[in-house]
Amino acid sequence: MPAQERPVAVRAASVFDVAKTAGVSHQTVSRVLNNHPSVRETTRAKVLDAMRELDYRPNLAARTLSSKRSRTLGVISTSKGEFGPASSISAITEAARSRGYSTIIEYADELSPTSVDAALASLAELAVEGIVAVAPQTRVLEALQSTRTSIPFVTVQNRETLDGVEVASDQFRGAQLATDHLLDLGHTQVVHLAGPSDWLDATSRLHGYEHAMAARELTSRHVNAGAWTPAAGYDAGRELLASDATAIFCSNDQLALGVLHAAHELGVEIPGRVSLIGFDDIPEAAHFWPPLTTIRQDFSVAGRRCVEQLLDDGDATPATELSLVARASTGHNPI
């Protein structure tokens, strides 16, 4: 290609370019990049505006060498696309970005504790300053707890021990909220369709349901779906809808979708014959038929909590906010 036809390389903007555009020193730009508290908000805003105008991208390698800090957080996940873990990763990434940090995600095999070691080693090589584990399987959490690493790490689950059982407290209370909603509608034959038994979230929701039933001196009954999928909900739903249950609490919304499918096939009216509630409030839940009553989680709070625990070395952060979203799939006990 002749020289005159070759594309002209565009030089990436530098700290000095940003400083000139913003009318500040390059040291001030560096302070903004490092989130230094001494920078005035008006000055910070000018620098950030200049960065956007010039499409400035910090040189991570150079910053790491000069500051001895990578300003990156690692995330270990075993998720295969489930709504909850995916939403948690998104929330953590956003919370980290708001603090001037980037995130690096490593995936581990939920069935292989050695894959957790490999993921940790990879993140250590990249000099991450902290790690968030979005790994809800019990065996993975145990592997993380037994791993010796100098890198601080936290888990998405806000855990506590209740009656000698370790639970994810947010999920436990969300399940109580779901079960109480059905009980307040007059249902006494409430069955829980539980998620995979090796997930801490699933077992925590099961324990929350059982506690809510016991508090009203009612007998709890549950079926293990074995997976989080609509197909698993459909298979279990055909059995549950043939029972004397007047209400079903599903451990997530996808399971509830499968139960709805089974109900339509069997001619079971929801909520006329059976009330149905899910968990998570996935975007599609409002468009199921009937629209699904469910428990909504504010994943942004969980993301901020994890980042604050790592960067501020604190633990007095708010629990994930949960709320009941009442829609048309639940109603008063018809019996």
pLDDT of res. 2: 52
- DSSP-derived 3-state class of residue 293: strand
Among 108-117, 190-199, 276-285, which is the least confidently predicted range? Answer: 108-117
Please name the residue that has the structure tokens 């790491």: 64
pLDDT mean over 232-239: 97
- DSSP-derived 3-state class of residue 137: strand
**Cα separation, 186 vs 118, whole angstroms:** 51
Banded model confidence at residue 192, pLDDT cuts 50, 70, 90: very high
Banded model confidence at residue 61, pLDDT cuts 50, 70, 90: very low
pLDDT mean over 210-224: 97
For the chain, the first-to-last Cα distance in angstroms comes to 83
What tokens does 11 get? 């030089």
Banded model confidence at residue 220, pLDDT cuts 50, 70, 90: very high
What percentage of residues in the chain have a pLDDT greater than 70? 89
pLDDT of res. 65: 43
pLDDT tens, position by position, 99-125? 889 999 998 876 676 788 888 888 888
Query: Does the pLDDT of residue 66 top 60, yes or no?
Result: no
Can you list the domains of the chain with their CATH numbers? 3-58 (1.10.260.40), 72-156 (3.40.50.2300), 161-325 (3.40.50.2300)
Strand partners, 73: 103
What percentage of residues in the chain have a pLDDT greater than 90? 49
Work out the mean pLDDT of the chain and round it to a whole number: 86
pLDDT of res. 111: 64
Q: Is the bond preceding residue 291 a cis peptide, omega within 30 degrees?
A: no
Banded model confidence at residue 60, pLDDT cuts 50, 70, 90: low
pLDDT of res. 327: 98
pLDDT tens, position by position, 128-171? 999 998 877 877 777 777 776 778 888 887 778 777 777 888 99
Find the DSSP H helices in the chain: 15-22, 26-33, 41-54, 60-67, 83-98, 113-125, 138-146, 169-184, 200-215, 230-240, 253-266, 299-312
pLDDT mean over 261-283: 97
Q: What is the pTM of this model?
A: 0.77
